[in-house]
Amino acid sequence: MASTDNRPLSPHLQIYRWPLSMLTSILNRVTGVGLTVGTLVLIYWLIAAAAGPESFATAQALLGSWVGRLLLFGWTWALFFHLCNGIRHMAWDAGWGFEIPTIDATGWIVVLASIVLTVTAWVLGYAAMGVL
């Protein structure tokens, strides 16, 4: 046996897997920035509504296109992810949930809850429009 066999290995780029806590942390920042952009779009939509029927129709056409709906779907998920992870942050601020198994469990809860809430919101939205 070579003397180098039992040496600890440094993370290898091709086999390194992101820990869930790292992914949720990065996603919190990405969704936070995304929500800032989404808020600007919301302001545009409100201004268009106040400016009159023609500009509102343009805004509706833009946001109602498939690209617009895809973006709105993304923003819906960003809002729910950021909201759920924000509640997770509040628990941490209160000193709860720092054990690694708990951090992993709450991370999965945030990911799953954000997906379920996003799909539910869109199903309810389409149902309210009478499409479903």
Query: Residue numbers of the site for ligand HEM (CB under 6 A)?
Result: 28-29, 32-33, 35-36, 39, 82-83, 86-87, 89
Give the torsion sign (CA, 63, 27, 86, 114). positive
State in angstroms the smallest separation of the CB of 120 from ligand HEM. Answer: 17
* DSSP conformational letter for 1: -
Of 69 and 89, CB closest to ligand HEM:
89
3-state SS assignment for residue 64: helix
Least spacing, CB of residue 10 vs ligand HEM, in Å: 27
Q: CA torsion 126→127→130→132, rounded to 10°?
A: 90
Helix (H, G, I), strand (E, B) or coil at 93: helix
* CB-based closest residue to ligand HEM: 86
Phi, psi dihedral angles at 60 (to 5 degrees): -65, -40
Half-sphere exposure of residue 62: CA atoms within 13 angstroms, side-chain side: 11
Minimum CB distance to ligand HEM, residue 9 (Å): 30
**Shortest CB 35 distance to ligand HEM, Å:** 3
